[in-house]
Structure 1
Amino acid sequence: MGATALVVVIVAVMMLSRGESGGPARDPAEAQKLASDVAAKPEDWGSGFTNLDESQNTGETQVNQDCTVTTKGLRPGTLATLRRDTENKSSEFAGASEVRVFDKKSTAEAYLEESEDGNHRCPTQRQEDTRYEQIREGSTDGLTGFDDVFAEEGTLVQTDSSGTVTKQAYVTIMGNVKDVNLMALTNAPVGKEADARNLTKKVMQAMQKHLEANENALPPKH
């Protein structure tokens, strides 16, 4: 093998070991710490919000061909996930943020594309006693620092065991930065869609800033 060919092989191996994003290689513990550092905290949501729950390694939401919504396991290449739920009782707003760290950029891209596909295929979706209605593409205007981002808006309709029906507006925004996927979700009273939209954008931008501040925190493997 000539010198030039040897250099090409070495460079290619180094790039593969660091992932398609060109960033530091991550082991699961490092990826989980990154997810924890980046996921939104109550202060990112604003005054009056408190944490409800935090979970790791949550499955993926899948919109099936018949527009039913189910949960499936983590796809190969998922290094870490973290979800934080929050609420503001006085305003009746609730929210969730989620961070998924993948092994490479193409895995994150595939996840985002599949999530967006459900929005385009199914304007009405069902999940047990919950329906998602009037699903439409939302606004991502003003968001910066993402490789790709999309927003979904709609109405969440829930029926309890007594048959009582409640409705809420919801806004979800999801975006990728290299091999990391960020998601923010806001549920709000019907009529508060504009406030929910602005809050979700605010939280997404806060997480992007957290990620930007942490992107050099994980050392490369040697």
Structure 2
Amino acid sequence: MAGLVVGLVMLSGGGGPPRTLSREEAREEARRLAPRDEDWGLGFVVAGEAYDQGEYTVRKDCVIVLNADRPGTLASLDRWAERKEAAMQTYSYVRVFGDAATAEGYIDDIEDGIHRCPALQLDKVRYEDSREWATTGSVPSFDEMVSEEGRIVTDEEGRKVNEVYADLTGQTGRIVMHTFVTGPAGTEAELRQIAVRALQRMHQRLPES
């Protein structure tokens, strides 16, 4: 972390008011916090990544749509990984905002969608039995934390599947981190552990405030 600690302290809210970051600086912070192969666990390999792809929001009808980033978003990095032999896939993102208030609003919107929608639709993918799960003591201390798990009943082609998912979203200062893991039915406990492990590793890259 040498050379970027000062920027991260400002980013996470320590050491006084956060300074304004350039787009490239915010992207660099997102890259350094994003999960790597080993953060997910044995057998996972990062399959791709992309910057600034917009943000998913849950409409009133519980359909998930991709919109432009909200004002105040400096950078985001999405990353995908997979463990083929276990039929598990992961998705993560790090979002860097201009201030903590914008980050708080972002995670509040995520929590609202979970509370409103036990079933959700993303294109042809359908999620059911969506709910929060207890994370007390299992993850580092964030300013705010949101969890979700449930079932996936149709895939990207609209075909019936029997899969499950678990995800975690944590907010510290003006940074939001997210981990999402899918796998076959019956792997719920393992998926939670994988999501927690990756988020722990990401959190460890933040400096102490």
TM-score by length of 2: 0.88
Equivalent position amino acid for 1:154 in 2: G
Alignment of 1:28-107 (within 5 A): 28-107=23-102
Displacement of 1:70 in angstroms is 0.7
> In structure 2, how many angstroms separate the alpha carbons of the residues matched to 1:99 and 1:34?
9
Tell me which residue corresponds to 2:105.
110
Displacement of 1:128 in angstroms is 2.1
Displacement of 1:19 in angstroms is 8.0
Displacement of 1:112 in angstroms is 0.2
The answer to whether structure 1 residue 156 and structure 2 residue 152 are counterparts is yes
Equivalent position amino acid for 1:149 in 2: M
The answer to whether structure 1 residue 208 and structure 2 residue 208 are counterparts is no
The answer to whether structure 1 residue 146 and structure 2 residue 146 are counterparts is no
Q: Residues 28-72 of structure 1, C-alpha deviation per residue, up to 9 Å, x if partnerless?
A: 111100100000011111111111110000211111111111111
Runs of 4+ off more than 6 Å = none
Q: Residues 111-136 of structure 1, C-alpha deviation per residue, up to 9 Å, x if partnerless?
A: 00001100000101112211110000
Tell me which residue corresponds to 2:165.
170
Q: Give the superposed CA RMSD.
A: 1.8
Q: Which of 10, 21, 27 is equivalent to 1:26? A: 21
| Number of matched pairs | 196
Would the alpha carbon gap of residues 160 and 37 (structure 1) be closer, same or farther in structure 2, given more than 3 Å must change?
closer
CA contact (8 A) 2:151 2:165 kept: yes
Q: Residues 148-196 of structure 1, C-alpha deviation per residue, up to 9 Å, x if partnerless?
A: 10100011122565x6411211011001010000000000111000000
Equivalent position amino acid for 1:132 in 2: Y
Specify every segment of 5 or more residues in structure 2 that has no aligned partner in the other structure, as ranges.
1-9
> In structure 1, how many angstroms separate the alpha carbons of the residues matched to 2:34 and 2:139?
17
Tell me which residue corresponds to 1:190.
185
CA contact (8 A) 1:20 1:104 kept: no
Q: Percent identity?
A: 33
Larger radius of gyration: 1
Displacement of 1:212 in angstroms is 2.7
Specify every segment of 5 or more residues in structure 1 that has no aligned partner in the other structure, as ranges.
1-17, 216-222
CA contact (8 A) 2:95 2:177 kept: yes
Secondary structure of the residue that 1:212 maps to in structure 2? coil
Identify which range, 124-133 or 96-105, moves more after superposition: 124-133
